[in-house]
Amino acid sequence: MSEDKHKGERIAKVMARAGLCSRRDAEKWIAASRVKVNGKVIDSPALNVSAADKIVVDDKALPDKQNTRLFLYHKPSGLVTSHKDEQGRSTVFDNLPEHLPRVISVGRLDLNTEGLLLLTNDGELARFLEFPATGWMRRYRVRVHGKVNEKRLKSLKNGITVEGVRYKSIEAKLEKIPEDEKQKNAGAGGANSWLSISLREGKNREIRRVMEALGLRVTRLIRTDYGPFSLGNVTRGTVTEIKPDVMKHQVAKYFAGNKAQKGKNR
C-alpha cells in the first residue's frame, strides 16, 4: 500500500466504482472486517489504494472496474428498495432480470411508492446523483383523498415545516380530472384528486408527510422523472438501459470530475 496519502483513491470509493456496493456500504463492510488489502484485514476506510494493491472482499478478489452503466426501472408498489430485508419482504433486487450486472439504486423509493428508479453498476455515480447539490428535479404524480386547497398547494413553493422538519420549495398543482372520474368519485362518497408535484430535496416520506399536513391522504404515489430521465413507456417491473452516449451527455459533470481526479492522481 502506498504511504503517500495523495496517491491512489480511498478504498471505499474504489469498491463503489467496481460496482460492488455504495461507498457508505463499503465503509460498513470495512468496519465489519470483511475487507483485506494485500492480505491484511483493514478496519478503517481512511486508506488510499492504487491499481497495484490487491483488494479482497469476503475472500473474493474485487472485480475489475466495469464501464459505467445506467438503467431505468419501473418499480412496482410493494417492493423494498434494498438488497436484503430484515422482515423478509420482496425487494427490488429480487425481481430484476437475471442478465443485469450487479447494480445499486440511486436513492430509494418507499415500499408503496412506484415509478422511476435509476439503477447503476457504479456506486460513485449513484452517490453523485443522490446529492441535492446535483440540482435535479424529481417529478411525481400523486393521487390524494380529501379536499384540495389550491392556495395552500401554491404556498408550498415557499417551503413548509412539518413536525419540526423543514422541507424546501415544492411545486404542486392540481391536475384536471376527467368527467368520468368525477362521477366515480361522487359515487364512491369521497374526493380523489391527482396532483403534479416536483421537488429537488426528496427527504424520507416527504410528499406523504407534507400532504398529511395539508389534510390530504396519499393513496398512490408515482415518480415519473428524475432529472433529465423520464419513465416514459417503460412497463411496470421492467428495466431499460440508457444509452452510454446519452448517459455521458446528461451526467457530463460526473465524468468530467472523474477525469480531473485521475489527472491529480498521476
Residues noted as catalytic: 110
Residue 52, by phi and psi: left (phi above 0), alpha (psi -120 to 50) or beta? Answer: alpha
Q: Which alpha helices (H) appear in the chain, and where do they start and end?
A: 11-17, 23-31, 123-130, 150-155, 179-188, 206-213, 244-250, 252-265
3-class secondary structure, 184: helix
Dig out the grid coordinates for 45 from the structure: 476506510
Q: How far, in Å, are 95, 128, 206 from residue 77 at the CA level?
A: 12, 26, 17
What CA–CA distance (Å, rounded) separates 67 from 101? Answer: 11
What CA–CA distance (Å, rounded) separates 55 from 57? Answer: 7
Q: Is 177 exposed, middle or buried (0-12, 13-18, 19+ CB in 10 A)?
A: middle
Q: How far, in Å, are 45, 222, 239 from residue 232 at the CA level?
A: 40, 12, 12
Whether 116 contacts 67, CB under 8 Å: no
Whether 23 contacts 63, CB under 8 Å: no
DSSP class of 176? P
What CA–CA distance (Å, rounded) separates 91 from 81? Answer: 6
What are the beta bridge partners of residue 9? 49
